[in-house]
Amino acid sequence: MTLFERPILAIETSCDETSAAVVVGRRVLSNAVASQIALHGKWGGVVPEAAARAHVEALLPTIQAGLGDAGVKLEDVAAIAVTNRPGLVGALSVGVTAAKAIAFSLEVPLIGVHHLEGHLLSVLALPDELPMPHACLIVSGGHTELVSVRGLGDYEIVGETRDDAAGEAFDKGARLLGLGYPGGFAIQEAAKAGDPKRYSLPKGLVGDTIDFSFSGLKTAVLRLVEREGDRLNVADAAASLQETIVSVLTERAMRAVRRLDSRALTLVGGVAANLALRSRLAAACEKEGVGFLTPPLSLCTDNAAMIGLAASYRLARGERNGTDLESLPTAELP
């Protein structure tokens, strides 16, 4: 595995986290993150215009923090990496504009990175060998996909949600149960005191599929809340919701591992921070006799370190972007 072994300054502003990191090869020297959770919590979800304004305010001090934490001076940076797709276009533009300006002023290479490839390769931060081929489960607020990873830059989506992402089901469920934002962590905490078998909730698609569907689950939680009223046990409902989502994700992921004859499964994305999911998949992979890799919690939610890791191999291949690099709200995996 050939990587770019000089300091990369990476920037991430695709949604509601402002982040800057310094990466050298597979080594993450720093990963500064300015969260917007408190800002968007007032509305129960991300407001694009507010997110973009918050990125403008936070980006410079976050870059300074990333460089300072790494002990690297700006003039020692050898390349700039930035998330340029997909995401909220206003938010993306903040990071892309800054990255272009820094790369131009330093006269160093600029590389745009696909946000999901960043998640896919966040496991490069681990000391473990990354087996090829392997299956990857990307699960977040906006994405739920199973990807066949044949090599760096060689990906194929083999399973995906047909409607809502798993993270959206967590967020909507948390709102309905009055647990706040972000929903994934709120559900996880409430579920600790609950009975996961108390309420029966639908798992979506049936049959031998590796696709997902969570819209029916969201509706079922709404009906549960309406039906039970004051009798509803919130902890039991949270535990039942978490158990349903974890069960579906594990079942489909292991089915993909067998179908692809994969040597390992990687779990990435914001929902990969869910401890029940991490534990369930680790046990399932051990039983199946395949490897299991998932990044530390700090690299599950959106962050710039994963963008630097993805950029590292692309820069080593000689890939570069010019000052015409665009911010794209939608884009397929490269």
CA distance 70 to 68: 5
Q: Is residue 269 part of a domain?
A: yes
Within this chain, do residues 104 and 163 fall inside the same structural domain, yes or no? no
For the residues 270-297, what does the mean pLDDT come to? 98
In a domain, 20, yes or no: yes
Q: Can you tell me whether residue 252 is helix, strand or coil?
A: helix
Residues shown for the chain = 334
List residues bridging with 36 in a β-sheet: none
* In a shared domain, residues 100 and 174: no
pTM for the full predicted model = 0.95
321 assigned to some structural domain: no
**99 and 14 in one domain?**
yes
For residue 156, give the CATH number of its domain.
3.30.420.40
Residues of the binding site = 115, 119, 138-142, 171, 184, 274, 302
What average pLDDT score do residues 200-206 get? 94
Known binding-site residue numbers for Fe cation: 115, 119, 302
40 and 150 share one domain: no
Distance CA 311, CA 328 (A): 17
Nearest-angstrom CA–CA distance, 332 and 334: 6
Residue 94: pLDDT over 90: yes
Range of the domain at 273: 132-294
What DSSP line would sit under 188-213, residue for residue? Answer: HHHHTTS-TTSS-------SS---B-
Same domain as 100, residue 22: yes
**Which tens digits make up the pLDDT trace of 137-163?**
999 988 999 999 999 999 999 999 999
pLDDT at residue 134 greater than cutoff 80:
yes
Average pLDDT, the chain: 96
What was the pLDDT predicted at 224?
Answer: 98
Q: Are residues 41 and 183 part of one domain? A: no
Co-location of 219 and 311 in the same domain: no
Domain co-membership, 146 together with 254:
yes
- Domains contained in the chain, number: 2
- Is 333 domain-assigned? no
Is 94 inside any structural domain?
Answer: yes
How far is the C-alpha of 55 from the C-alpha of 34, rounded, in Å? 9
pLDDT class for 98, splitting at 50, 70, 90?
very high
Please tell me whether residues 91 and 43 are part of one structural domain.
yes
Q: Looking at the structure, do residues 248 and 276 belong to the same domain, yes or no?
A: yes
283 and 211 in one domain? yes
Strands 291-293 and 17-24: unpaired
Cite the annotated binding site for substrate by residue number: 138-142, 171, 184, 274
Instruction: Tell me which of 128-132, 259-263, 324-328 is least confident.
Output: 128-132
- Give CB contacts under 8 A, 24+ apart, made by 102-106: 102/9, 102/74, 102/77, 103/79, 104/323, 106/74, 106/75, 106/77, 106/80
User: Does residue 17 sit within a domain?
Assistant: yes
- Residue 183 covered by a domain: yes
Quick one: 139 and 282 in the same domain? yes
- At 37, the pLDDT band (50, 70, 90 cuts) reads confident
Q: What pLDDT, on the 0 to 100 scale, is given for residue 206?
A: 86
The answer to whether residue 178 is domain-embedded is yes
Q: Which two tokens stand for residue 126?
A: 């681990």
pLDDT of residue 188 exceeding 90, the answer is yes
Taking residues 116-128, what's their average pLDDT? 97
